[in-house]
């Protein structure tokens, strides 16, 4: 957990548990797995052979952050599950997830950002929320290439969150986030789902980081302009420096917008 997160698009990070399993190319150099291994934790792998680790302090800390935001009169953002996937199908976390949902539902001054690589599991694991989704819970999915965009974005669009977002990080190739989607064509029917509300872009960092072409970021930015989607340029990536400061970016990519 982190009261003051180093992730540029959130104020806090909250992990109710640690551990996950890799599911796509974006997971190859997972920072969360690297950090877990550094602490000697064997919590990355299939549910059949690998445990997850429940974290204790965060269950009270997140309530204190909510109280502090109320005292300060300032809404703050909390990124949930930076060291896991809230929608992973693992029997050990089933009750933890239900308990975390109850806490999340009762937060008043925190916007809770859940980012998953498994949006197709949302109805199965967050079923109660589909009948009254908490307005302060944002739902996002990771998109690292065109294949994951093609499968995860349609699944995300079925989730009735007020704010749905994409984390295009680590960006491994040029991605068309609008390909074939009804909302992108401006042909939404009265009963269709709403579009994406926010896009985060970033290259991979770390000693094994894969190449990032700045042209990909420009292409993504142009799509966001075309459909009036707020755009957040997180980092160019690389090693030893992530190049995550605005001064590291070309002038016309020094953009850090948030959904209103």
Dump pLDDT digits (tens) for 151-176. Answer: 999 999 999 999 999 999 999 999 99
pLDDT(208) > 70: yes
Judge contact between 56 and 95, C-beta under 8 A: no
What pLDDT is recorded for position 3?
62
Percent of the chain scoring above 70 in pLDDT: 93
What pLDDT is recorded for position 2?
60
Per-residue DSSP letter, 238 = B
Q: How many helices (H) and strands (E) does the chain have?
A: 6, 9
pTM of the model: 0.94
Question: Which residue, 151, 172, 248, 183, is CA-closest to 217?
Answer: 172
* Mean pLDDT of the 250-257 span: 98
* Of 180 and 242, the one with more pLDDT: 242
What pLDDT is recorded for position 179?
79
Helices 58-72 and 94-105 pack at an angle, to 10 degrees, of 10
Q: Who's near 195: CB < 8 A, 6+ residues apart?
A: 157, 164, 183, 184, 188, 227, 229
State the Rg of the chain over Cα. 18
Residue that is written with structure tokens 């109660």 in the block: 128
What pLDDT is recorded for position 189?
45
Distance (Å, rounded) from C-alpha 120 to C-alpha 118? 5
* Mean pLDDT of the 91-117 span: 98
């Amino acid at each position: 957990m982190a009261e003051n997160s180093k992730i540029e698009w959130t104020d806090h990070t909250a992990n109710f548990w640690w551990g996950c399993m890799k599911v796509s190319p974006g997971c190859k150099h997972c920072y969360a797995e690297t950090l877990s291994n550094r602490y000697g934790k064997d919590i990355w792998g299939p549910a059949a052979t690998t445990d997850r680790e429940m974290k204790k302090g965060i269950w009270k800390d997140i309530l204190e952050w909510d109280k502090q935001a109320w005292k300060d009169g300032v809404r703050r953002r909390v990124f949930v599950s930076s060291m896991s996937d809230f929608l992973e199908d693992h029997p050990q976390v089933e009750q933890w997830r239900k308990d975390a949902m109850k806490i999340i539902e009762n937060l008043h001054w925190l916007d809770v950002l859940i980012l998953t690589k498994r949006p197709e599991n949302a109805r199965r694991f967050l079923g109660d929320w589909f009948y009254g989704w908490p307005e302060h819970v944002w739902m996002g999915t990771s998109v690292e290439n065109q294949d994951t965009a093609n499968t995860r974005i349609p699944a995300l669009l079925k989730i009735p969150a007020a704010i749905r977002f994409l984390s295009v990080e680590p960006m491994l190739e040029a991605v068309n986030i609008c390909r074939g989607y009804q909302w992108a064509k401006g042909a939404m029917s009265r009963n269709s789902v709403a579009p994406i509300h926010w896009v985060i872009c970033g290259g991979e960092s770390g000693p094994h980081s894969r190449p990032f072409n700045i042209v990909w970021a420009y292409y993504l930015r142009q799509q966001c302009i075309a459909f009036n989607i707020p755009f957040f340029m997180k980092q160019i990536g690389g090693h030893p420096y992530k190049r995550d400061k605005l001064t590291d970016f070309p002038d016309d990519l020094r953009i850090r917008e948030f959904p209103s």
